[in-house]
Each structure stands twice: as structure tokens, then as C-alpha cells.
Amino acid sequence: MYKTVLFTFDQPISSDTEQAVLQAAETAERPETVRAVLTASEHDIQSELDFIGRFICGNAAAERAYAVFVEQLERPGGCEAMLAASGDTSAEERTLLLDHYLVIAHRIAQGFNERVRRHNR
């Protein structure tokens, strides 16, 4: 297992393999990943971005896998599936939760991309 502040991957994303990249993409759609995004506080997001700056930037394999992860994270499919499976929420609540998810996922992806760019200057 490989843990960042918010997310848990089955194997280290620093493994320079296609399997690590595929697994990173799959991780983005897991219900526990969707929940982590939906419940992330401002502190959690900043801590994740700090983690990225310290442990992912500069490691080409980890950057590649995390880039695929955040690209997939920004797609709504995993969140939509989890929300649809939850019978406890109305259509309006699901729409609001999906909007919130997409904003947070974008912030994480944008923060990752900014840190990688800064590191590679």
C-alpha cells in the first residue's frame, strides 16, 4: 500500500510500471477516494499538496502515475456512480455533491500541476 494524506493506492505510485499507472487511475474511481474528496477540508487539501511537493515532485514515475490519477479524479464517473448507489440523497443533493466533488478534484489536480511545473523549472 502507498498512502498520501488523502488517498490510498494498492501499490507504490513510484513504481515505474504500467501497472502502477493503471492502478492509480482505478484508485480515482473508488468509493473511498470519492468520499475523501467530498469530505476533504481546506487543511486536508493543503496537506495533500504539501505531500505532493515533498514526495512526488522530482520522481518521474510518481509524477506520471499521480498525473493519471488526478486526470481520472476530475472525471465525474466515480462520484456519479457512488451518489447514484446512495438511495439516501435527492437528485438536487446529488447535483450539489457532484459540483462540490468536481471543485475539490480540480483544486487538487491544479495544485499538483502547479507544483510539478515549479519543481521542473
Write out the residue range of the structural domain in which residue 23 sits: 2-119
Q: Is there a contact between 49 and 42 (Cβ–Cβ < 8 Å)?
A: no
d(CA 65, CA 98): 24
HSE (side-chain half, CA atoms, 13 Å) at 100: 16
Question: 27-67: per-residue pLDDT in tens?
Answer: 999 999 999 999 999 999 999 999 999 999 999 999 999 99
What percentage of the chain's residues is helix, strand, coil (to nearest 5)?
A: 70, 5, 25
Res 64: pLDDT: 94
Number of domains in the chain: 1
d(CA 109, CA 59): 17
pTM of the model: 0.93
Question: 68-109: per-residue pLDDT in tens?
Answer: 999 999 999 999 999 999 888 899 999 999 999 999 999 999
